[in-house]
Structure 1
Amino acid sequence: MATTRTKPARPHRTRFPRVGDTRGLACNLLAGLLLILAATGAAGPLDGIVAVVNDDVIVQSELQAEIDLVLPELQSRGTSIPARDVLEKQVLERLILKRLQLQAAERLGIEVDESTLTEAMTSIAARNGLSLDELRLTLQQGGIDFESFREDTRAQIVATQLQQQAVMRNIRISDAEVDRFLEREGDSLIQRREVRLQHILIALPDNPTQSQIAAARSKAESILGRLRGGADFASMAAAESEGRRALEGGDLGWFPMAEVPTLAVDAAQKLAKGETAEPIQSPSGFHLIRISDIKGDDPEPVSQTHVRHILIRTSELVSDDDAKRRLDQLRLRIVGGDDFGTLARAHSDDTGTALKGGALDWVDPGATVPEFEEVMDALAPNEVSEPFKSPFGWHIVQVLERRRQETTDALMRMRAEDALRRRKAEEATEIWLRQLRDEAYVDLRLDAGDY
């Protein structure tokens, strides 16, 4: 058993929802709701401490409540449930990471106001086809306290803002990275309408033996190796395939995405033009599927905004009220005739744009956080916004002009940058969470028999 601390710790029982996935707050909240409604057999009010996390604690009742949420999630995925002691340790580690993130958010002064929280709750209700009052009733019927669920929702919004501030703002995508991505994976960005497939079949007899299956698999893998080494697919199909289209080079023709054979759906959705999937086994044998061509929808023109901003970041010394008050004063000066760029150079905390008078240049849709984009899109040219808050701090924004960018290249580069940013975000979040865990004081008491 680890040495315990004599200083009493204050129990803190707010469950901190998962923040690793930034791809849709409302969807995560909805999933959380469904899991909570599915969970049964909640634990009683036990107080045994199972972990100390810095100056906070996790108690047994929290651990049991989290297990009650995890179990239906595992069952819905068809995942084997580990042994009880293993499950407890895994779930406890997840709770520790949640608690550490909550503490980090508190240190940074990240809070969620009532209007933002009400908007999120309304969104959850709407996604379930309910009004806010109906959501309250549904939760109560499921044995869930509405205020507790509301605070869980607040915690997840805080978590998302923390990730934006601690991870996302540090991600940079270079032009060279975009160029390399487009060269290697550009086809994956096309909205696919149709794909042209090629096929090689290594057939199996009825009721094959294990040795026959192994031999067919080995042959398929050998052919795949030769293809990836530069061999021509059509020639290999004509020589080796036992499929009906072997003499046509294995060409199966064009398929609308909705009509792609089930066997080839995954390859049709994910592979780039010219790539061949790993061997796929079916009762008839082993299949090699190649994406020989792709037809995509023509990209729509991009609406771009030329914008500049002034950012005031909050800290232990600068509160939300302080930041908003400073920006209110700066806005009054700009409206009164002072130059926006001059004030941005003197006052903005965004060092990357301050020297350029706050200019972000031409901004594509989706290139900024939702809070910023919503305000920016509502402004007329030359209009200056009221102060507003984003995960980076408090801003005022001025739209200079707008244009329609008709070039396909611009849209493809925007999509590539967005894909790279999501990819880097996953990696950066994992590194940041490990660092957060390594730097924390954590006293595990799960094996101590304290509960």
Structure 2
Amino acid sequence: MNVKTKLSDCLRPLLLGALLLGNATLSTTTTAEVRPLDRVVAIVDNDVIMQSQLDQRLHEVQQTIAKRGAALPPEHVLSQQVLERLIIENIQLQIGERSGIRITDEELNQAIGTIAQRNGMTVEQFRAALAQDGLSFADARDQVRREMIISRVRQRRVAERIQVTDQEVQNFLASDLGKMQLSEEFRLANILIPVPDGAPSDTIQAAERQAQDLYQQLRQGADFAQLAIARSASETALEGGDMGWRKAAQLPPPFDSMISALSVGEETEPMRTPGGFIILKLLDKRGGGTQVRDEVHVRHILIKPSEIRSEEETRRLAERLYERIKSGEDFAELAKSFSEDPGSALNGGDLNWIDPNALVPEFREVMANTASGEISKPFKSPYGWHVLQVLGRRATDSSEQFREQQAMNLLRNRKYDEELQAWLRQIRDEAYVEVKL
């Protein structure tokens, strides 16, 4: 088992972040060997990216590609792709810093514990496995912290402003495409040749020629993952373009209908999208038959930081409420008095039966690890500090409500993908970036 890969799998679709290595020093002996000092390879707004960061990330990416059995592109090509990924990550981390996003040690420990549990290990076993894989525990914690910050930045800047109306859901459910999408799922990879907003016609034509050239190479047997790593501008380029499992409804037209006609292993022709020209490959598909989902009956108390209550004070209040519940006070009465979730507070914090996939990852993870009838310790999500109690679990067949929730999730994911790519281009264009390679 490759623990580095598992770390990346457990969190957001980002590769693991690289650490700033200590500068090399000159020996003070008379027979000193001169060692090159670390150097700046890019200036990004108020921060820099060092050669050591680029080298470490490049090494990790090369290892990951090699373990997938894919051919490596030339190092200078891969290096440019990796540097661009580091630049985008750095911009997001600076946004997080300016927005006051902080990951506490408690949250980090909780995340590390979850990762270890997903790998079937204790934290100590996980630490030993990291060491065997050539990664220190301190490095791993810092990488997870960075990924958590980036995830929260995206939640605030992208996910929270996406809205899906009830009418959009009903229109989707009534469509032939909607009926089909509730029964089948596709694993996709993509190659994106970008086109800047407002680009002149010659720039658009040049991008289209690049995309057509890549498509012809694919038809002649070229490796999709290798071309994606070397040429794609997509967020998933360094993963060989692998986007994971998607419904066609998550894809911008006309790909939603084109994917259904593909056989596994086939690619679409290049198509124009708002971000440029994109080629999709169908890696696998699954689904069909009766849909069964797990539901959890859960209630919670939400406490939010505010201008008059600091993060630390909020955490302490959540802990006091937890202790009061454990001492025998009524959960529902405390929720009515203290919870700041307007949708559930008056109901004693009761969220009723709910699909775990409809919840934010932090809430879902704690809920999954809490036994029926048990109360969780206080934990943090993007919304604030929670205490939850699991009241029951059940498996249920698909219902109209479930179909509507599926449709809502699919439409939100489609809008999120489009909005995220547009937002990443925007922050990249607005940032001051000076590459010194």
Q: TM-score range by the shorter chain?
A: 0.5 to 0.7
2:289 corresponding residue in structure 1: 297
- Out of 180, 183, 190, the position equivalent to 1:190 is 183
How many residues get paired?
Answer: 322
Residue 73 of structure 2: SS of its match in structure 1? coil
The question of whether the paired residues in 1 share the 8 Å contact of 2:116 and 2:122 is answered with yes
Q: Distance in 2 between matches of 1:146 and 1:387?
A: 25
Mapped partners of 1:62, 1:273: distance in 2: 40
CA distance in 2, matches of 1:329, 1:322: 11
Structure 1 unmatched ranges of 5 or more: 1-16, 37-43, 193-266, 282-293
Counterparts of residues 334-353 of structure 1 (less than 5 Å): 335=329, 343=337, 348=340
Match of 1:446 in 2: 436
Does 2:116 match 1:122? Answer: yes
2:425 is the alignment partner of 1:434:
yes
Q: What one-letter code is carried by the residue in structure 2 that aligns with 1:188?
A: Q
Retained in 2: the 8 A contact 1:26–1:120?
A: no
> 1:208 matched to which residue of 2?
none
CA distance, structure 2, for counterparts of residue 397 and residue 134 of structure 1: 29
In structure 1, what is the equivalent of residue 359 of structure 2? 368
The aligned residue for residue 138 of structure 2 is 147
Q: How big is the shift at 1:49?
A: 1.5
| Match status 1:109 vs 2:94 | no
Q: Supply the distance in 2 between the matched residues of 1:55 and 1:125 (Cα, whole angstroms).
A: 37
Q: Say whether 1:408 aligns with 2:402.
A: no
**In the TM superposition, what is the alpha-carbon distance from 1:118 to its structure 2 partner?**
3.5
Q: 1:80 to 1:390 in 2, by over 3 A?
A: same
Distance 2:316 2:141 in 1: 29
CA–CA distance in structure 2, aligned partners of residues 353 and 436 of structure 1:
36
- Once the two structures are TM-superposed, the CA of residue 152 in structure 1 deviates from its matched residue by 1.7
| Cα pair 2:333 2:348 within 8 Å, conserved | no
Alignment of 1:22-421 (within 5 A): 24-25=9-10, 46-73=37-64, 76=68, 78=70, 81=73, 84=76, 87-106=78-97, 107-114=99-106, 115-123=109-117, 125-126=119-120, 135-182=126-173, 183=175, 184-190=177-183, 276-277=261-262, 296-300=288-292, 303=295, 305=297, 307=299, 309-313=301-305, 318-327=309-318, 335=329, 343=337, 348=340, 363-373=354-364, 378=370, 387-397=378-388, 408-421=399-412
Please tell me the residue identity of whatever aligns with 2:110.
T
State the alpha-carbon separation in 2 of the partners of residues 111 and 187 from structure 1. Answer: 41
TM-score (norm 1): 0.54
Preserved contact between residue 121 and residue 153 of structure 1 (Cα < 8 Å): no
Alignment CA distance shift 1:170-1:398 (3 Å): farther
The alignment yields a C-alpha RMSD, in angstroms, of: 5.0
Distance 1:57 1:117, change over 3 A: same
TM-superposed CA distance for 1:426, in Å, is: 1.9
CA deviations 1:289-335 (Å, max 9, x no partner) are xxxxx9943233663647564340467x7543211234456775994
Amino acid at match of 1:446: K
- Asked whether the equivalents of residues 162 and 416 of structure 2 are also in contact (C-alpha less than 8 Å), the reply is yes
Distance 1:134 1:400 in 2: 32
Say whether the 8 Å CA contact 2:332–2:347 is kept in structure 1: no
**How far does residue 95 in structure 1 lie from its aligned partner after superposition?**
1.0
Contact 2:102/2:149 (8 A) holds in 1: yes
Q: What SS class does the counterpart of residue 366 from structure 1 fall into?
A: helix
Structure having the higher Rg = 1
Q: What percent of counterpart residues are identical? A: 31
Give, as a single letter, the amino acid of the residue that structure 2 aligns with 1:69.
Answer: E
Output the CA distance in 2 between the equivalents of 1:338 and 1:138: 43
Higher relative contact order (CA 8 A, sep 6+): 1
Report the Cα offset of residue 102 of structure 1.
2.1
Letter matched to residue 50 of structure 1:
V
C-alpha deviation, 1:336, in angstroms = 7.0
Structure 1 counterpart SS, 2:302: strand
Residues 62, 306 of structure 1: alpha-carbon distance in 2 compared, 3 angstrom cutoff: closer
User: For structure 2, which runs of at least 5 residues remain unmatched after alignment?
Assistant: 20-34, 186-247, 249-254, 267-285
Cα gap change, 1:45/1:323 in structure 2, threshold over 3 Å: closer, same or farther? farther
Distance 1:445 1:68 in 2: 20
Give the Cα–Cα distance (whole angstroms) in 1 for the partners of residues 309 and 93 of structure 2.
20
Deviations along 1:6-27, whole A, 9 cap, x unmatched?
xxxxxxxxxxx99xxx995259
